[in-house]
């Protein structure tokens, strides 16, 4: 199994630009999660989907952030416009919906907003 695949691995952009992070969950998994990790705040849950439907987006910091899951094999997290404080590592994870807390994480996207 290829695991959860995230792209790009690294993204450097300038303040004000749009950033799109991509995630391909493990085939057959029906829950997908976006986390953000910084030194100050640790791992934060931003949003999660179940069967492609957003269930809880209360962790999304601002309206500048949006996430979509158009089908079971693809999700995006978009930041528009980006700001320096958005610099972080963004992780995507997937799980079988009835497996409780057993998540499989991708390798993350390191985002730097200059």
Partner 1 sequence: DAKTTQPPSMDCAEGRAANLPCNHSTISGNEYVYWYRQIHSQGPQYIIHGLKNNETNEMASLIITEDRKSSTLILPHATLRDTAVYYCTATRRGSQGNLIFGKGTKLSVKP
Q: Given the complex with partner 1, which of 46 and 79 has the nearer CB atom?
A: 46
The whole-angstrom separation of Cα 77 and Cα 65 is 7
Site string for partner 1, 7-46 (x = CB under 8 A): ------------------------x-x-x------xx-x-
Region 77-96 residues binding partner 1, contact defined as CB under 8 A:
91, 93, 95
**Count of beta carbons in the 10 Å neighbourhood of residue 19:** 21
Is 107 among the residues that bind partner 1 (CB under 8 A)?
yes
Residues 12, 84: Cα–Cα separation, whole Å? 11
What span, in angstroms and rounded, lies between the C-alpha atoms of 49 and 55? 5
Rounded CA-CA distance 40/51 in Å is 32
Which positions lie near partner 1, rule CB under 8 A? Answer: 4, 31, 33, 35, 42-43, 45, 48, 50, 55-56, 91, 93, 95, 97-108
């Amino acid at each position: 199994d290829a695991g959860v695949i995230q792209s790009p691995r690294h993204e450097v952009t300038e303040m004000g630009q749009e950033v799109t992070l991509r995630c391909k969950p493990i085939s057959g998994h029906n829950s997908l999660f976006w986390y953000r990790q910084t030194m100050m705040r640790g791992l934060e849950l931003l949003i999660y989907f179940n069967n492609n439907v957003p269930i809880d987006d209360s962790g999304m910091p601002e309206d500048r952030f949006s996430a979509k899951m158009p089908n079971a094999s693809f999700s995006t997290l978009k930041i528009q416009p980006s700001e320096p404080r958005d610099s972080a590592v963004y992780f995507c994870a997937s799980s079988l919906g009835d497996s409780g807390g057993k998540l499989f994480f991708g390798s993350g996207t390191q985002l730097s907003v200059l």
